[in-house]
Structure 1
Amino acid sequence: MTPPLPKAFVNTALAHRALHDISDGRPENSRAAIRAAVASGYGIEIDLQLTADAQALVFHDYDLGRLTEENGPIRRLTANEACQVPLKHGDGETIPTLHEILEIVKGQIPLLIEIKDQDGGMGADVGLLEQATATALDSYRGPVAVMSFNPHSVGKMAELAPDLPRGLVTCGFDPVEWPLPVTTCERLRTIPDFHTSKASFISHDKADLASPRVAELRAAGIPVLCWTIRSPTEEAKARRFADNVTFEGYQAPLAG
């Protein structure tokens, strides 16, 4: 049986990459942004990347350049090396590990974890990051769910942590925006792997929320989250089609 998404993920607005604000020394996915979300009572969405020694880092990009003063793939760093790399605008913040973030959250708020695709093409060459994630979450207590754009990643999590709620990150997969074959984009756009990946929810791009496939899943009782909402106006529109929002850049109402 596929574990359902806990209601906390529908009832509490989710801060995208945690409650980040560089004007206040809180970069995205940082410890400071996590603590701010906990203090405010928001749920959080974070991203995971893999280290050279097969550990899970809380970091969005595949390359270091946008978020740190270094360049090159994040996967070249060990976990110890990554924890020495300062984040831009972070007032001493460095790249955190998943273990560190779990110690900060401690089940106080809903924690939504996106596992970034490590195959490079939404294929089956996955496993190391999923294993690191499952290991880190094995003894964690509190509302937590995992998700990925890659259906193979979601399926792997079903194998490694069958009791952990999991979902698919989905969108319109415009080939102009995605470095994938057109045929792959066309296939993923229809969300064909929802059931085979043993997902229990989706998190869908706000620009494509009116998709008939999204409506079909929601009508079947599947929770629909969405990303990334940046204003109250966008939120009002999104909530016509989605059960909850992932937000940034404004103070969303705590409860939907």
Structure 2
Amino acid sequence: MGKGANKSGGLGRIRRGIPHLPHLVALHKKRLSAPMVRGTLTSMPVRFFAHRGLSAQAPENTMASFRAARAAGYEWIETDISITADGELVLFHDDTLDRTTNGSGPLATRTLAELTQLDAGSWFAPEFTGEPIPRLRDLLDFAQEAGMGLNLELKVNPRGLSGNANTVAAAKVLAEIAPYDSSHLLISSFDHDLLRYVHRLAPHLQLGALVEGPWWQSNWRELLESLGGAALHPSNTGLDGAAIAHVREEGFEVNVWTVNDQRRMQELIFWGASGIFSDTALVPYYPHQPIALER
């Protein structure tokens, strides 16, 4: 997923103490017929997802970043699944190798053997030189041993490659995760047709529909219902309390990406967000610093 901006959107000031949100209550009454979803940081269960691992402290989507996430207290890791030219599943975000390795060109044209020769760490810092691109099974084994959950994002295949490559990759993912505890797995994608395909093959899996832009103007409820009650994964950019409350009141989870600011994280949770994706070590700030929002 992309890296959303961390804008608080006309919040007013943040302080500890008793909740006092007259401006937000008025906004909810104006936009929603149902009452606002209320909660506190200490009473609402929230999932924290380390976005591509703890990618602010280690190279993204590497075992180093996943280990850092565990050390920082995360219980969930988010990562991106791509497929190699010879059909192997690896963890990589971009279509091309240029940004985060010493290679270049499309990942999908390289074999696993070729990719294992690349350095996916030195671009971040010299101490990570030689860090390899991991396979999906490497992370599955790590997460199982660590007792962590995984959000596996299915990447949309770059243009110019086989049109059914996405469904082929999805079927391979389902086969590879089959031996693992499905309660600790969540599959997400911006490709909602691909998620419907996954839901048909594995209706027991948790799904997350990634959205950005003015998603609230679309039929998001129908989308989530078509995915068996999937969670909504909206961008942090422009997201407000009314939008979160509307989705939560319909019974769906809202897991927000990407939040790297402590105050914004606390605001989103107060509004009812059920999950937060972050590049940074936000977990220590929850739930020990409950806040209230005031104009």
Q: What TM-score, normalized by structure 1, do the two folds share?
A: 0.80
1:150 aligned partner: 191
Q: Answer whether contact 1:209 1:242 (CA < 8 A) is retained.
A: no
* 1:152 CA displacement: 1.1
Q: 1:200 aligns with which of 226, 230, 239?
A: 230
Mark the structure with the bigger radius of gyration: 2
Unaligned 5+ runs, structure 2 = 1-44, 123-127, 288-295
Q: Give deviations 1:80-122, integer Å, cap 9, x for gaps.
A: 222221113233111111011111111611211111112759x
Once the two structures are superposed, residues 169-199 of structure 1 have per-residue CA deviations (whole angstroms, 9 ceiling, x without a partner) of: 11116xxxxxxxxxxxx89954352222335
8 A Cα contact 2:95 2:158, kept in partner: no
How do residues 101-250 of structure 1 correspond to structure 2 at under 5 angstroms? 101-106=139-144, 108-118=147-157, 120=159, 125=164, 126-141=166-181, 143-172=184-213, 189-191=218-220, 192-210=222-240, 214-239=244-269, 240-250=271-281
Amino acid at match of 1:133: V
The answer (yes or no) to whether the contact 1:171–1:205 under 8 Å persists in 2 is yes
Q: Which residue of 1 aligns with 2:129?
A: 91
Question: Is residue 58 from structure 1 mapped to residue 91 from structure 2 by the alignment?
Answer: yes
Instruction: Tell me if the contact between 1:63 and 1:71 (Cα under 8 Å) persists in the aligned partners.
Output: yes
Tell me how far apart the structure 2 counterparts of residues 39 and 211 of structure 1 sit (CA, whole Å). Answer: 31
> What letter matches 2:108 in structure 1?
R
Percent of paired sites with the same residue: 26
Among 46, 62, 65, the residue aligned to 1:30: 62
Distance 1:187 1:15 in 2: 26
User: Hey, what does 1:20 align to over in structure 2?
Assistant: 55
Work out whether residues 118 and 130 of structure 2, in 8 Å CA contact, stay in contact via their aligned partners in 1.
Answer: no
Q: Which has the higher contact order (CA 8 A, sep 6+)?
A: 2
* CA drift at 1:211: 8.0
Deviations 1:34-64 (A, max 9, x none): 1222233302111111211222211111111
**Deviating 4+ runs (over 4 angstroms):** 186-190, 211-214
Using the alignment, how far apart are the partners of 1:77 and 1:68 within structure 2?
13
Inter-partner Cα distance in structure 2 for 1:81 and 1:188: 44
Output the CA distance in 2 between the equivalents of 1:215 and 1:72.
43
Q: Which residue of 2 aligns with 1:67?
A: 100
RMSD of aligned residue pairs (Cα, Å): 2.6
Taking a change above 3 Å as real, the CA distance of residues 255 and 83 of structure 1, as seen in their structure-2 partners, is: farther
In structure 1, the gaps of 5 or more residues are 1-9, 174-185
Offset at 1:27?
0.5
Q: 1:164 Cα shift?
A: 1.4
Residue aligned with 1:207, SS? coil
Q: Is the 8 A contact 1:232 1:252 kept in 2?
A: no
Contact 2:233/2:255 (8 A) holds in 1: yes
Give the Cα–Cα distance (whole angstroms) in 1 for the partners of residues 195 and 176 of structure 2: 16
**Superposed displacement of residue 222, structure 1:** 0.5
Q: How many residues align?
A: 230
> Are the aligned partners of 2:53 and 2:78 in contact in 1 as well (CA < 8 Å)?
yes
Native 8 Å contact 2:262 2:285 kept in 1? no
Contact 1:171-1:208 within 8 A present in 2 as well: no
